[in-house]
Amino acid sequence: MAGEGGSDVGFSGIASWLARFRTAFTTPTWRRVLVLTSGAIVSPGRRTICSALRAMGLEDAADFSSFHRVLNCNRWSALALSRTLIVWLVSVLVPDGPVIIGIDETLERRTGRRISARGIYRDPVRSSRGHFVKARGLRWQAFMLLAPLSWTGRVWGLPFLTVLCPSERYTHERGTSHRKLTDRARQGLLQVARWLPGRRIIAVTDSSYASIDLLNAVRDRVCMVSRLRLDARLFDPPPGRTARTLGRPRRTGARQPSLTSRLENPAIQWSEATIGAWYGGQEHRVEFISGTALWHNPGRAVPIRYVLVRDPAGHFRPQAFLCTDLAASPVDILAWFVRRWSMEVTFAETRRHLGIETQRQWSDLAIARTTPVLMGLFSIITLVANDLQKQGRVQPAATAWYRKEGPTFSDAIAAVRRELWAAPYFHTSSSKGEQQKIPRALFNSLLNNACYAA
């Protein structure tokens, strides 16, 4: 399949990889999607429409504006693409067992008066426990599949749904109601549950989503795992009523000791467990106690299983976790929660290798589409690399002074780029001899990418 504008770079590979998404686009838009996707993968530096076209050898294309329209006005549903992507991810990487999903926010640092949805938020990368840093940009809520990849030896966070979360000021200026992060998480989780009927879904979040209203809204469809405050009000379930019980039913039973007081009680017997792939990827031995309780605030309550953890070596402070599945194992709860670390790795990798924060779209629709597409492209590249790895085509880059234990995303995207460049020309070439003829269009494209890499 030839690209538009006279490009000689073949598209049979990318078309087969993206075949599941074909029905979401019209035929003209689909041809441009193949060009832009290939350009976003192979182009270095910024991920703008122009850089993608230049990387594909289409810098002289007279219809360049039609590629901009793919993002800023063409009709296609990003939600439909998200559904196709999560079904693909689950079928390949999690064919059975629980589907573990992570939810977190990331800040895309963007400036410019024409970016109407930008706001001022806490910078999660530059801020720390005792140092608060503000940054201006766009806030995104990302839903990722947290699945282990056997050929990498660790869990990867694979985005499939990314939602723009404007500030409260932005919504008030437009006369619309503001939706909190927990409201968007509730809608997203229930949507995922509808996309994956019959599968057990476990959502792992940080303390921002430890909301009683959110837990109650989704716990019948999704098992929630999150942090729990050490001063949380925990109660026994309400006692049963008899025929002679007067008054309205009690909502709680006796109050349980606080988690902080349990840390100071020498009579409590702590259990030990070794959690694999702890933060940093190493195994770590922890001590824990667990139980069930009714987490109650005036007017609302939710049954939970809590897990209170402390480090016998004293490397981290005691912390508590909650799970809405009362029958879940405490060790499983901790193992699910530590998978969240892979989400931070994904945010860093998308900035480094896919040009997040380098886009230059100004229209609201293009802004709302570009970052989710680039985040989803991370997952698509991983799935393609997963197939290429079975053929031995994904190898970790190594030198005499640096040896990788396993492939990373830089190796995955390098293998996909190699496939895009080499497949149309060299897979049927003779294996004998050290010289091979390179078509002029491919040579110019490679040379152009190398010269404008920075």
* pLDDT at 297 exceeding the cut of 60: yes
Q: 64 in helix, strand or coil?
A: helix
**R_g of the chain, CA atoms, integer Å:** 25
- pLDDT level of residue 434 (50, 70, 90 thresholds): low
- The answer to whether position 214 is within a domain reads yes
The 10s digit of each residue's pLDDT in 248-285 is: 788 889 999 999 999 999 999 999 999 887 766 678 89
Residue 14 to residue 20: CA distance in whole angstroms: 11
The 10s digit of each residue's pLDDT in 218-249 is: 999 999 999 999 999 999 998 887 777 777 78
Bigger pLDDT: 435 or 355?
355
| CA–CA distances in Å: residue 78 to residues 25, 364, 376, 385 | 11, 14, 10, 23
- The answer to whether position 420 is within a domain reads no
For 158, residues 6+ apart whose C-beta sits below 8 A from its C-beta are: 89, 93, 144, 145, 146, 147, 346, 378, 379, 382
The 10s digit of each residue's pLDDT in 36-79 is: 999 999 988 889 999 999 888 888 889 999 999 999 999 999 99
pLDDT, averaged across the chain: 88
- The CA dihedral of 385, 404, 453, 349, to the nearest 10 degrees, is 60
**Residue 104 carries which DSSP code?**
E
Q: Helix %, strand %, coil % for the chain, to 5?
A: 40, 20, 40
What residues make up the domain containing 144?
A: 78-238+252-354
Are 322 and 295 a contacting pair, CB within 8 Å?
yes
Closest CA to 361 of 353, 371, 351, 352: 371
- The answer to whether position 331 is within a domain reads yes
- The answer to whether position 96 is within a domain reads yes
CATH number at residue 268: 3.90.350.10
| CA–CA distances in Å: residue 187 to residues 295, 296, 313, 368, 373 | 23, 23, 41, 18, 20
Task: Name the pTM for this structure.
Answer: 0.90
- The answer to whether position 185 is within a domain reads yes
Q: Which residue has the tokens 């590629």?
A: 67
Own/partner pairs for 68-73, CB < 8 Å, 24+ apart? Answer: 68/366, 70/29, 70/32, 70/33, 70/36, 71/361, 71/365, 71/366, 71/369, 71/370, 71/373, 72/361, 72/363, 72/365, 72/366, 73/363, 73/365
- The answer to whether position 132 is within a domain reads yes
Closest CA to 181 of 195, 163, 193: 163
pLDDT at 424: 55
- The answer to whether position 303 is within a domain reads yes
Q: How many domains does one find in the chain?
A: 1
Query: What value, to the nearest 5°, has the Cα angle with vertex 400 and ends 395 and 405?
Result: 45
Structure tokens at 197: 């009927």
- The answer to whether position 170 is within a domain reads yes
Structure tokens at 303: 């049954």
Q: 234 in helix, strand or coil?
A: strand
DSSP assignments along 281-312, one per residue: S--EEEEEEEEEEEEEETTEEEEEEEEEEE-T
Fill in the amino acid letter for 16. Answer: S
* pLDDT at 2 exceeding the cut of 50: no
